[in-house]
Amino acid sequence: MALPMRNSGSAHTIYSTRQLADDLRHHRMQIVGLLIVAMGMAVFAAMLGLTRGAIVSGLSEALLRLFGIGAPAVALATVIFGGLLTLAKWMRPKAGQGRQALGLALLWVASMVLSEAVSPSLAGARWSFGGAMGRALAVAFSGIGGRPLVWLAGLGLAVEGIYLVARLSWRRTLLSLSALAAVVGRWLISALSRVTARYRSKARAPEPELMEQRGAIARVSVAVAAPEAEKPAIASDVEDAEEAGAEANASTEITAVATDTGTAPEPTCEGRQLPPLELLDAPGSDESDEAYEEPEDLSRDIEDTLDALGIPGKVRVVERGPAVTRYGVEPGYLDKESADGLIRRKVRVSRIAAVSDDLALALGAAPIRIEAPIPGKPLVGIEVPNPSRAKVRIREVLESREYQQANFELKIALGEDITGRPYVTALENAPHLLIAGATNSGKSVCISAILTSLLYAYQPEQVRLLLIDPKRVELMRYNGIPHLLGRVEADVEGCIAALRWAGQEMDERYREFARVGVKDIAGYNRSRPEDAKPYPRFVIVIDELSDLMMTAGEEVELAICRLAQKARATGIHLVVATQRPSVDVVTGVIKANFPARIAFHVATNTDSRVILDGPGAESLIGHGDMLFLDPSLKRAVRLQGSYVSEEETRRLVAHWRAQVGTNEMLPVCPWAGLLEARDSAEDDEDDLLIQAEAIARESSSISASYLQRRLKIGYPRAAHLLDRLQKMGVVGDGPSGRPRPVLAHSDDRTDEDDPAAEPGGG
């Protein structure tokens, strides 16, 4: 039995030796790393005088002579390198770490160069502050450009190292500095203009005696001719005083300036001036410039996440916009086994579109929208929200080349697309626009941007506005501008009358087109008779459709659909907004006549389908982030809407109000006659209702055609009277087009049944 025991012990010894060899082979990197860490710590301790070993003391002395004050950094770098080797099995390198390592190296070299520049080598010293390497670099730079170049080189290396370590960008820094310089410049110019205006007003302010003399001269100027030399002098002084006062006031006081001077002539239609862009806030004045993760890092994270999900792909294009960044991913290939061997198949686009939630979790950014594929490109777009969003001021869109060169009849500055380019569209090509989204998603600001675009580009003779605001909140501020027809309508009766008047205006324009022999407004304005004025374009804006649909749904839907179907050629365009995109508000008939639509953030996928006929709006991030369904592109375009503040709107409205003449101060609604006719028609209908009730009570059944013959009215009106009799309980319900049974006969009539009876009468 001893022999087997010896054999077993020998086998156990051989097995243990092999296991040890395998363990050493598998963990050799960790062992080497630990040895490097120990050596680096020992050398660093020797530099601090904590140990005096021969080997480590010699190494520390050599490093000090070679690198000077940069030697401790070499020792610490050795420790870090050893630690990385030890933990390499469990650590995953991230994108950007190479740049940071390079930045640390540049800072290390800069420290030696600057140390040599500050404190050159001392005689008798064992080592210089910059070491042999720093001294060599300093001598080389000094030989090229003298001592100043040594400083410039050291500072340049240090700044570049800081940028690489902090993962900053020269482009963002220059943009931030330029924006800061622009803000400071505007502030200095504004302060200088205020000081100059105050100085001029004090220097040129007329004395009280002089003002009295001028008043006397003005009173007797009709009877006695003043000397020719005095009249220009007085006029010049008054003009200078007015000019100084105008410069001293801010642009927001335009109305007060125009009223207080009293000498400015009343502006005529031909003399009105378009508002200057200085009324709007300049871009870049309040944009946030917070640090955000580099696109290269997110690209690596996207690729790693897709690879972990079994979907290989590479990020080929990165496009950064104001609110989101789009990463264009090229789908990779998968190897699948078959009877013929391995087959390479490209990843399906639908597989990438199905993992949006996994990508949002991996990137820590939600919601993520996937556009599969990007139109015109063999890529899948993954749209990730930016950590810091930039406002798109409407001024920068109005100043852009895209807006200035747009040859449209009604051009609108919507905002910037996902690549940061200004996006301008033509309302006449829409020709009607539907806007929908949840509360606080950007609808009201979008309407303000549309109106601002029109008020900045067109005179009242070119574009007229008809504004309907049942909420009485957003559009009321535009009352009093010359572009507005009448006033902003808020009552339901007034809104319906305004829409009916627009329909009558459309019919009148079509009759005039037929008389002239043209087919649209552009042809009429070119071929109109000499004594006829050109037709302006009408833009009808309804801020909240759901309120109108709840109170008078049938009438509003009929009027809107009639205009949407026929009004394009006459130059009448609709802009309708609602915050409740449900099928009972945005009906199928309305939606079919609005090919252009803007969807802001909504709560559910169902709401998105009501607006866009497809998903996507539920993945928007709000605050102006929109999907614009462009009829010319047949697809939805993601935009960041133009931002217009309330103060900017107030200044713009004040500019136009200051140019309204006295004959335009009292707005007259063109549809006022329709309101009066509606009231009188209701009175007449009450009389007809009494007669219809009496006729119904005389028989056992009654039909609309019978009422039509007896009362000598049209069939629609007779059918409406029959419906009212049913609500009163006089007649019952019945199939359409058939007589209805009479429920109350003449012998059952009481005073309460009489619609003409006075309350409390006997």
Strands 411-417 and 635-641: antiparallel
- Residues 59 and 72 sit within 8 Å (Cβ to Cβ): no
- Residues 462 and 537 sit within 8 Å (Cβ to Cβ): yes
Question: Residue 194 and residue 300: Cα distance in Å, rounded?
Answer: 53
What is the model's pLDDT at position 176?
63
Cis preceding-peptide flag for 367 (omega within 30 of 0): yes
Q: List Cβ neighbours of 240 (8 Å cut-off, separation of 6 or more).
A: 200, 204
What is the model's pLDDT at position 241?
37
- Residues 564 and 400 sit within 8 Å (Cβ to Cβ): no
Note the helical H segments in 27-70: 28-47, 54-67
The token pair at 25 is 């082979």
Q: Can you tell me the mean pLDDT for 372-387?
A: 89
- Given a cut of 80, is residue 330 above it in pLDDT? yes
Chain-centroid distance, C-alpha 506: 34
What is the model's pLDDT at position 447?
96
pLDDT classification of 535: cutoffs 50, 70, 90: very high
Identify the burial level of 323 via C-beta atoms within 10 angstroms of its C-beta, where 0-12 means exposed, 13-18 middle and 19 or more buried.
Answer: buried
Which has the minimum average pLDDT: 22-26, 456-460, 470-474, 665-669? 665-669
What is the model's pLDDT at position 602?
92
Phi and psi based region of residue 539 (left: phi greater than 0; alpha: psi -120 to 50; beta: remaining) = beta
Q: List Cβ neighbours of 447 (8 Å cut-off, separation of 6 or more).
A: 435, 474, 475, 541, 543, 575, 577
pLDDT classification of 635: cutoffs 50, 70, 90: confident
DSSP annotation of 643: B
Question: Residue 439 and residue 471: Cα distance in Å, rounded?
Answer: 13
The token pair at 762 is 């006997």
What number of other Cβ atoms are within 10 A of residue 475's Cβ? 25
Among 653, 666, 259, residue whose Cα is nearest residue 476: 653
Coil, strand or helix at 595 = coil
Q: List Cβ neighbours of 47 (8 Å cut-off, separation of 6 or more).
A: 60, 63, 64, 71, 72, 75
pLDDT classification of 244: cutoffs 50, 70, 90: very low
Question: Residue 722 and residue 708: Cα distance in Å, rounded?
Answer: 10
- The number of helices, as runs of H, and strands, as runs of E, in the chain is 26, 17
Chain-centroid distance, C-alpha 452: 15
The token pair at 337 is 């086994």
Domain limits of the chain? Answer: 295-385, 394-664, 682-753
- Given a cut of 80, is residue 136 above it in pLDDT? no
Residue with more model confidence, 469 or 9: 469
pLDDT classification of 561: cutoffs 50, 70, 90: very high
- The mean pLDDT value of the chain amounts to 76
Coil, strand or helix at 418 = coil
The token pair at 557 is 């839907």
| Per-position DSSP letters for 671-711, written without gaps between them | THHHHHHHHHHHHHHHHHHHHHHHHHHTSSEE-HHHHHHHH
What is the model's pLDDT at position 40?
77
Which has the minimum average pLDDT: 17-26, 253-262, 736-745? 253-262
- Given a cut of 80, is residue 604 above it in pLDDT? yes
Question: Residue 358 and residue 385: Cα distance in Å, rounded?
Answer: 15
% of the chain residues with pLDDT over 90: 26
Q: How far is CA 497 from CA 89, 500, 539, 572, 672, in A?
A: 77, 5, 16, 16, 8
pLDDT digits (tens, 9 = 90+) for 401-429: 999 988 899 999 999 999 889 999 999 98
- Measure the CA angle with vertex 237, ends 234 and 240; round to 5°: 150
What is the model's pLDDT at position 417?
92
Q: Which residues pair with 415 in a beta bridge?
A: 423, 641
Q: How far is CA 299 from CA 330, 345, 380, 390, in A?
A: 12, 23, 13, 21
Question: Residue 130 and residue 68: Cα distance in Å, rounded?
Answer: 5
The token pair at 600 is 């802001």
Question: Residue 350 and residue 229: Cα distance in Å, rounded?
Answer: 87
What is the model's pLDDT at position 105?
77
What is the model's pLDDT at position 167?
63
pLDDT classification of 469: cutoffs 50, 70, 90: very high
Phi and psi based region of residue 480 (left: phi greater than 0; alpha: psi -120 to 50; beta: remaining) = left
Q: List Cβ neighbours of 491 (8 Å cut-off, separation of 6 or more).
A: none
Note the helical H segments in 391-436: 394-398, 401-404
- Residues 648 and 281 sit within 8 Å (Cβ to Cβ): yes
Strands 433-436 and 572-578: parallel
The token pair at 187 is 């502030």
Q: Can you tell me the mean pLDDT for 52-80?
A: 75
Among 482, 505, 442, residue whose Cα is nearest residue 640: 442
pLDDT classification of 677: cutoffs 50, 70, 90: low
The listed range with the strongest mean pLDDT (294-303, 404-413, 667-676) is 404-413
- Distance between first and last Cα of the chain: 132
Among 62, 148, 69, 47, residue whose Cα is nearest residue 116: 69
Strands 380-385 and 324-331: antiparallel
pLDDT classification of 210: cutoffs 50, 70, 90: very low
Coil, strand or helix at 315 = strand
What is the model's pLDDT at position 209?
43
Amino acid letter at 8?
A: S
What is the model's pLDDT at position 397?
94
Q: Can you tell me the mean pLDDT for 13-35?
A: 68
Residue with more model confidence, 382 or 263: 382
- Given a cut of 70, is residue 685 above it in pLDDT? no
- Residues 475 and 541 sit within 8 Å (Cβ to Cβ): yes
Q: Can you tell me the mean pLDDT for 193-215?
A: 52
Rounded to the nearest 10 degrees, the angle between the axes of helix 492-516 and helix 545-566 is 10
What is the model's pLDDT at position 742?
86
pTM of structure: 0.59
Report phi then psi at 301, rounded to 5. Answer: -65, -40
pLDDT digits (tens, 9 = 90+) for 227-238: 343 333 333 343
Question: Residue 129 and residue 67: Cα distance in Å, rounded?
Answer: 8
Question: Residue 550 and residue 207: Cα distance in Å, rounded?
Answer: 66
The token pair at 529 is 């008779």
- Measure the CA angle with vertex 29, ends 28 and 32; round to 5°: 85
Which has the minimum average pLDDT: 100-109, 560-569, 680-689, 695-704? 680-689
Report phi then psi at 578, rounded to 5. Answer: -155, 150
pLDDT digits (tens, 9 = 90+) for 495-508: 988 999 999 999 99
**Sheet of strand 422-426, all strands in order from the earlier edge strand to the far edge:** 422-426, 411-417, 635-641, 625-630, 596-599, 433-436, 572-578, 537-542, 463-468
Report phi then psi at 539, rounded to 5. Answer: -120, 115
pLDDT digits (tens, 9 = 90+) for 174-186: 666 666 777 777 7
* 3.40.50.300, 1.10.1040.10, 3.30.70.1290, 3.90.10.10: CATH of 394-664: 3.40.50.300
CATH no. of 295-385: 3.30.980.40
What is the model's pLDDT at position 399?
92
Which has the minimum average pLDDT: 307-311, 575-579, 667-671, 751-755? 751-755
Q: Can you tell me the mean pLDDT for 347-368?
A: 87
Among 397, 448, 391, 398, residue whose Cα is nearest residue 644: 448
Chain-centroid distance, C-alpha 630: 16
CATH no. of 682-753: 1.10.10.10
- Given a cut of 80, is residue 522 above it in pLDDT? yes
Question: Residue 70 and residue 138: Cα distance in Å, rounded?
Answer: 15
What is the model's pLDDT at position 156?
78
What number of other Cβ atoms are within 10 A of residue 739's Cβ? 17
Which has the minimum average pLDDT: 182-196, 249-263, 371-385? 249-263
Report phi then psi at 433, rounded to 5. Answer: -125, 130
pLDDT classification of 22: cutoffs 50, 70, 90: low
Question: Residue 62 and residue 564: Cα distance in Å, rounded?
Answer: 87
Identify the burial level of 464 via C-beta atoms within 10 angstroms of its C-beta, where 0-12 means exposed, 13-18 middle and 19 or more buried.
Answer: buried
Question: Residue 598 and residue 437: Cα distance in Å, rounded?
Answer: 8
Which has the minimum average pLDDT: 1-5, 303-307, 346-350? 1-5
The token pair at 306 is 């897709």
What is the model's pLDDT at position 211?
41
- Residues 436 and 578 sit within 8 Å (Cβ to Cβ): yes
pLDDT classification of 118: cutoffs 50, 70, 90: low
What is the model's pLDDT at position 345?
86
- Given a cut of 70, is residue 108 above it in pLDDT? yes
Q: How far is CA 545 from CA 434, 468, 548, 578, 582, in A?
A: 10, 9, 5, 5, 11
Chain-centroid distance, C-alpha 406: 20
